[in-house]
Amino acid sequence: MNAGNVRTNRIKKNVIGSLVLKSVSILTGFILVPITIEFVGTAEYGLWLTVASFLMWFGFFEIGLGNGLRNKLAVALANNDFELGKKYISTAYALITIIFGSLFIFYQLISPSINWSGVLNSNIDKAVLGSLTTIVFSFFFIRFIAKLIGIILVADQQPALSNMLDPIANVITLVIILVIKENVQNPILFLSFTMSAMPVFVMTLASIIFFVGKYRRLAPSYKYVDFKYSRELLSLGGQFFVLQCFSLVLFQSTNFITIHLFGPEEVVSYSIAFKYFSVLNMAFTMMNEPYWSAYTEAWEKNDIFWIKNAINSQIKIFAAFMVGYIVMTIFSDVFFRIWIGIDRMEALHVGWPLKIALVCNFAVLSFGRIFILFTNGIGKLKVQILCLFFGALIFIPLVYIFVKILNMGVEGIVIASIFSNFYSFIIAPAQYGMIINGKANGIWNK
């Protein structure tokens, strides 16, 4: 069996495993929503969603190390250079620990002076709000260190194993909330601790298991920490870091903007619609996620024929998914009433403009991802960086136009995100075509 067939079969196995695991994660996620809304209240749940998404802004301090490690480790494994891989991993762990350990100390120093009530537009008791943010931020910093095991798994083209971690954490969280919720005195703090701590616990346990077993030869060691490799990791990772910063503005700021423009209850309405329509996007992501590191390997071995076939097959799958989006849109109201409850949905209200905007948004993201995974996998990032930089610049002005001038609701924020993300549906396919046909010059090939 040739290398291309081996690569394809590996991807198929990972796709099946990822879809099964993601289905469990999605199911537990859907079950958690009505339970947690009833448990803590609509406004408090909206606050939790905002804090969780707000934290993503602090993810840029990772400076792209994870994706830099992913590409560099994938090349090392393609060449069976396990010693180099161990050095990359050990150095990445050292760097990420230094970065987030410093951030943790810095947060502890400045947190008491931050007016979290104003930042989050919340009327919750200041002491409770301070405890909530401390819990969430603390576990968030630790999570960035623990999640490197997932990067190692996808670099080894084992994304199904990486995708196993979230469903396990979700199931544990669901069970804990169902068992203990009746005896909890402060639901919002309990929810924050449980949903923040469980992913860290699962990732840490997985790290121990894999480094003792499957990845014993790659297990991090202080003896293999060599900061001369940090330049390689940070050079490529730095480009991913810039992409992450711009992506945060376009894709992770909606809850934060919504809570300030419309209030925490509207965050819940948006979140419910987003979670529902994101199901197919998550499934599509699971199906093409294994291609990132596979493209790295195929490009390293100059297997252009395999890359072209892979892209074409994903385009066909995307067309089928669009039919699924249409069906989901038609039956959305029925599902919402069953899922959240008729009375609660009448109070929240998810309108058709928001539904259509979200479907278009996910269509753009899914289509663009087909080509972005290729350019990310081979490290051709300059055009993407420039486009997302411009998109980030125009995003807030577009939000102002759609929401304040045209009097749109939350859908105005989503539409602004679509227009700002023009790279996905216009530029990314064009850049792929130039690179794969050997016609990319200048910035298009960097």
Read off the pLDDT of residues 16-59 as tens digits, 9 standing for 90 and up: 776 676 677 677 777 777 777 777 777 777 777 777 666 655 55
Q: What is the pLDDT of residues 286-332, one digit of tens each?
A: 788 778 878 888 888 888 999 999 999 999 999 999 999 999 999 88
Q: Residue 53 is encoded by which pair of tokens?
A: 């998404």
Q: Residue 426 is encoded by which pair of tokens?
A: 């216009």
Integer Cα distance of 351 and 381 in angstroms: 37
Q: Which residue has the higher pLDDT, 51 or 443?
A: 443
CB atoms within 10 A of CB 102: 12
- Give me the mean pLDDT over the 98-104 stretch: 84
Residue pair 239/446 in contact by the 8 Å Cβ criterion: no
Q: Residue 175 is encoded by which pair of tokens?
A: 């069970």
Integer Cα distance of 443 and 446 in angstroms: 5
* DSSP letter assigned to residue 185: S
Integer Cα distance of 217 and 219 in angstroms: 6
- Give me the mean pLDDT over the 214-232 stretch: 85
Integer Cα distance of 432 and 412 in angstroms: 30
Integer Cα distance of 337 and 6 in angstroms: 46
Per the listing, tokens 């209200």 go with 349
Residue pair 49/255 in contact by the 8 Å Cβ criterion: yes
Integer Cα distance of 292 and 296 in angstroms: 7
Q: What is the pLDDT of residues 268-289, one digit of tens each?
A: 777 888 888 888 888 888 788 7
Integer Cα distance of 74 and 152 in angstroms: 9
Q: Specify the pLDDT at position 237.
A: 53
Integer Cα distance of 397 and 416 in angstroms: 9
Integer Cα distance of 355 and 366 in angstroms: 16
Q: What is the pLDDT of residues 346-395, one digit of tens each?
A: 666 778 888 999 999 999 989 999 999 999 888 888 898 888 888 888 98
Closest CA to 436 of 314, 303, 313: 303
Q: Residue 42 is encoded by which pair of tokens?
A: 């609509």
Closest CA to 203 of 142, 118, 248: 142
Integer Cα distance of 192 and 177 in angstroms: 11
Residues 6+ apart with CB under 8 A from 250: 388, 391, 392, 395, 417, 420, 421
pLDDT averaged over the chain?
81
Integer Cα distance of 375 and 377 in angstroms: 5
Q: What is the pLDDT of residues 414-433, one digit of tens each?
A: 999 899 989 988 999 999 99
Check: pTM over 0.75? Answer yes or no.
no
What are the CA-CA distances from residue 232 to residues 176, 357, 381 (Å)? 42, 40, 15
Q: Which residue has the higher pLDDT, 74 or 200?
A: 200
* DSSP letter assigned to residue 257: H
What are the CA-CA distances from residue 96 to residues 79, 203, 353, 382, 439 (Å)? 25, 15, 42, 24, 38
Going from N- to C-terminal start, the domains of the chain cover 3-445
Calculated CA dihedral for residues 233, 155, 427, 444, nearest 10 degrees: 50
What are the CA-CA distances from residue 7 to residues 88, 293, 314, 320 (Å)? 23, 10, 15, 24
